Each structure stands twice: as C-alpha cells, then as structure tokens.
C-alpha cells in the first residue's frame, strides 16, 4: 500500500486541506485580534468621552456663576467674549455625539481632542444617526480613524495659520456617506492611483504604508466605495456604504 499512488494522492489532499484550514484559522485569529484591539481603543475613547462630559457638567455651574457675576458688574463685552469661548468648547463635544453608535461618538471626540492639542481644528458635521448601517462598529471606527490620522500627519508637515480637518457624516436614500477633508499639501496627481496599495506612502504624510490599504480592504469586504480628490488646496476622501435591505 506504501507505493500506491492513490494513497499518496489522498495524503497530499489531506495536507492541502489541513494547510488551507490552518491559513483560515490564522486569518480569523488575526482578524479577532484586530477587532479586540479596536474594541479596547473604543472602550478607552468612550471612557475618555464620559470623563469629559462629566467634567463639562461639573464646570457648567461655575460658568453660570462667572457669567452672572460679569452681568452684575455690567461687564457685557467681557461676558460676551467669555460666552463665545465656552460655547465653542461645548459645541465641539456636542457635534461629536449625534450618532447612535457610542464607539463612533467617542472616536470623534477623541480625534477632536487630539487635533486640539496639536493646533489643528477638527470640524465634525454629523447629519446621520447611522442607526441602520450594516458595517461593524469597530470596522467603521478603523476606517474613520485611519483617514483622520492620515489627515493629521499631512497637516503636521505644513506651516499654516489655519490647519483644518473636516469630517462629514450624512446619508442619502441609498447610501451612508462619509467625507474626511484636510487643507494639507495634497497628494501628487501621479500618486493618487497608488495610495490604496499595500505599503504605499508619500513624503507629505498622506498614505502611511498600511492605513489606506486597510481602509480599502474593509470597504471591499462591506461593499463600500472610496473616492479621492486632491489638489494643492485640499484632500478629500469620500466613502459610500450602501444601506441595503
């Protein structure tokens, strides 16, 4: 039986099946590890957002007392200036917590805080609650996080008075729509077809080797589309995810 070709054929088939099974298992383990890492980041972001909201609630009474004191003293210009400052701070957090997805809300708040610490203005325009979106929350977080991180890196490399990132979340009858825009140096025209390839990067920070490749893979798995528009004034990544049934 040892020289039977059928025996060797069966053995080869079993080895191939085992190898394929092992590859699938390793891929699933890697995917689970990535999911766990993203979930840990989301939990941390949610905790940070919760702490920030509690601090703002705690400061609310203090702000009212200061405003009341300025009003009593007749310092109306000073009161108006103070109101504008605290309104902008409250508005930043308020704009980031409009979806039905706590992980997305927390991520937006975390990115706003990160940009604030780096002298970058992040504007979040949320016009959809994402209630019926089919993509997993952790995957959507990964997409938004990678695109935002690329925008931050691009703006860190330039010297501008105003460095702005705009994240827009909206929906149409057919799609959920996401835009991440920055006013960085832009991606050279000849490189724009390459940015989603594995390992691609540019000198100006847009495309950091793996980030955009990961984004494109996640969107491909979820039947999403991504578009890129870039020039010397701005770079905009546009994502569309079908609503489905």
Longest dimension (CA), the chain: 104
Closest Cα partner for 114 from 139, 96, 138?
Answer: 96
Integer Rg of the chain from CA = 24
Backbone angles phi, psi at 188, to 5 degrees: -55, 140
* pTM, 2 dp: 0.68
Q: What is the pLDDT along the chain (245 residues), one digit of tens a residue?
A: 556 677 777 777 878 877 777 777 777 666 666 666 666 776 776 666 666 666 666 666 777 778 878 888 888 888 888 877 777 666 666 655 678 888 888 888 888 888 988 999 998 888 999 988 999 888 899 899 999 999 999 898 788 788 999 999 999 999 999 999 999 888 888 888 888 887 776 554 444 557 788 899 899 999 899 999 998 889 999 999 998 65
The per-residue pLDDT for 205 is 47
Closest Cα partner for 37 from 145, 148, 112, 124?
Answer: 145
Query: Position of tokens 């991520």?
Result: 107
Contacts of 177 (CB under 8 A, 6+ apart): 128, 168, 169, 170, 171, 238, 239, 240
- Asked if 115 contacts 121 with a C-beta cutoff of 8 angstroms, the reply is yes
Pick 5-242's CATH classification: 3.20.20.150, 3.40.50.720, 3.40.50.150, 3.30.565.10. Answer: 3.30.565.10
Separation of alpha carbons 186 and 155, rounded Å: 10
The per-residue pLDDT for 241 is 94
Separation of alpha carbons 187 and 217, rounded Å: 21
């Amino acid at each position: 039986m040892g020289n039977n070709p059928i025996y060797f054929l069966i053995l080869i088939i079993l080895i191939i099946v085992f190898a394929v099974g092992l590859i699938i298992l390793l891929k699933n383990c890697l995917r689970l590890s990535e999911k766990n890492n993203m979930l840990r980041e989301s939990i941390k972001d949610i905790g940070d957002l919760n702490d920030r909201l509690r601090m703002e609630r705690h400061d609310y009474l203090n702000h009212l007392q200061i405003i009341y004191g300025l009003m009593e003293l007749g310092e109306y210009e000073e009161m108006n200036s103070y109101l504008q400052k605290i309104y902008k701070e409250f508005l930043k957090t308020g704009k980031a917590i409009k979806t039905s997805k706590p992980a997305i809300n927390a991520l937006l708040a975390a990115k706003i805080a990160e940009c604030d610490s780096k002298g970058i203005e992040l504007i979040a325009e949320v016009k959809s609650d994402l209630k019926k979106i089919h993509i997993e929350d952790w995957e959507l977080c990964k997409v938004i996080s990678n695109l935002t991180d690329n925008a931050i890196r691009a703006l860190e490399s330039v010297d501008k008075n105003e460095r702005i990132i705009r994240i827009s979340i909206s929906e149409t009858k057919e799609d959920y729509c996401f835009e991440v825009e920055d006013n960085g140096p832009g991606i050279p025209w000849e490189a724009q077809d390459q940015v989603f390839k594995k390992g691609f990067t540019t000198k100006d920070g847009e495309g950091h080797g793996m980030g955009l490749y990961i984004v494109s893979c996640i969107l491909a798995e979820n039947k999403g589309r991504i578009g890129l528009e870039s020039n010397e004034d701005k770079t905009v990544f546009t994502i569309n995810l079908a609503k489905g049934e």
